[in-house]
Amino acid sequence: MRTGYDLELVHLTKRYGDTVAVRDLNYVFSAGSYVCLLGPSGCGKSSTLRMIAGHESVSDGSIVLDGQDVSYLPPAKRGTAMMFQSYALFPHLTVRDNVGFSLRMKGVDKPTRDAKANELLELVDMGEYADRLPAQLSGGQQQRVALARALITEPKVLLLDEPLSALDPFLRVRMRSELKRLQRELGITFIHVTHGQDEALALADQMVVMNNAVIEQAGPAREVFNAPRTEFVARFMGGHNVISFNGAKVALRADEVRLGATGLAATVAGVEYQGAHVALTAMTEAGEEVLALVPEAKFFNSPKNPGDAVNLAWDEGRLHRLQA
């Protein structure tokens, strides 16, 4: 039995006039995985996603889904579906008719598409709202409807462009676990664009970090976090120090830095209470700033203040050399 479909980007490039938005991407999204495409604003995430969906033309290279080059197929023929940043529901159609819309375009009769729409609405826990209009729903509810609408086409790959950015922080965390559940249940590939590291870490089986139109690093979420390859990735993922050590740049996780009796001499520059941790920044004698995330109980056993002298220590082997 088939378990899914690989999606492959081959030398994929997008140019807008003189701007290269996506430069020669080569990547295989393995079947049935939750992939987060992560990177700062303007790095080419949406352009990549829109090319995969067929909402943007390819300048060079190709998109291969399940062994077939889909680069020049119209969006509805690709086996992909896209959920947009703005949910773009039709305001004059009920929730059920919104969800069934693409089936109506295909000429499916009303009883069949209503039944299918109801099924999808159940899946996203919106069954009881089928007769409402979009304006009668909260943002989070509209989003579930948009999700049901994208899924009714039974895509092989669901594309989501910053789907959680319009939600408040509480709802965002709830929706992201919903998305993960749905992906597991459906077993299809989700490609989820975000500029949030936390969101990517929480969701991704595979993480693809982009910067300046190229893939800077890709791999399992834990691997990217624990072994950032470049200074950009280390800084972008957060929670890491980038420091010079024996003439090379190295990364050191902030939660690996201890305040010890011996170690690198430094002066406390700032102390920020963060709940579970205290974020302590210290300036070394070489003028480098080092962040230490100290468990709060440990910190308050022996509190520090700006100006205090401290020694920074870490286990050998925790330093991680970065590529230039």
* Residues found near ligand ADP in the complex (CB under 6 A): 16, 19, 21, 39, 41-47
Between CA 275 and CA 226 the distance in angstroms is 23
Q: Which does 42 bind (CB under 5 to 8 A by kind): Mg ion, ligand ADP, none?
A: ligand ADP
Q: Which is nearer to ligand ADP, 211 or 230 (CB)?
A: 211
Q: Which CB atom, from 32 or from 44, has the smaller least distance to ligand ADP? A: 44
Task: Map residue 271 onto helix, strand or coil.
Answer: strand
Residue placing its CB nearer to ligand ADP in the complex, 21 or 126 = 21
Q: Which is nearer to ligand ADP, 21 or 150 (CB)?
A: 21
64 bridge partner residues: 8, 69
Phi and psi torsions of 274, nearest 5°: -125, 20
189 is a contact residue toward Mg ion (CB under 5 A): no
Q: Which is nearer to ligand ADP, 45 or 156 (CB)?
A: 45
Strands 7-16 and 60-65: antiparallel
From the list ligand ADP, Mg ion, none, which binds 16 (C-beta under 5 to 8 Å, kind-based)? ligand ADP
Closest to ligand ADP by CB, 22 or 201 = 22
> What DSSP character marks residue 322?
P
| DSSP tag of 45 | H
Q: Minimum distance between the CB of residue 44 and ligand ADP, rounded to whole angstroms?
A: 4
Q: Closest approach of Cβ 196 to ligand ADP, in Å?
A: 13
For 237, what's the count of Cα atoms within 13 Å in the CB-facing half-sphere? 31
Q: Which of 222, 121, 85, 106 is nearest to 153 (CA)?
A: 106
* Least CB distance to ligand ADP at residue 39 (A): 6
Residue 134 CB, shortest distance to ligand ADP, in Å, is 25
Minimum Å distance from CB 111 to Mg ion?
39
Cα(234)–Cα(113) distance, integer angstroms: 48
- Least distance in Å: CB of 150 to Mg ion? 17
46 binds Mg ion (CB under 5 A): yes
In degrees, to the nearest 5, what angle opens at C-alpha 235 toward C-alphas 14 and 212?
15
Are 123 and 97 spatial neighbours (Cβ–Cβ below 8 Å)?
no
Task: Dig out the tokens for 246 from the structure.
Answer: 């024996």
> Site residues (CB under 5 A) for Mg ion?
46
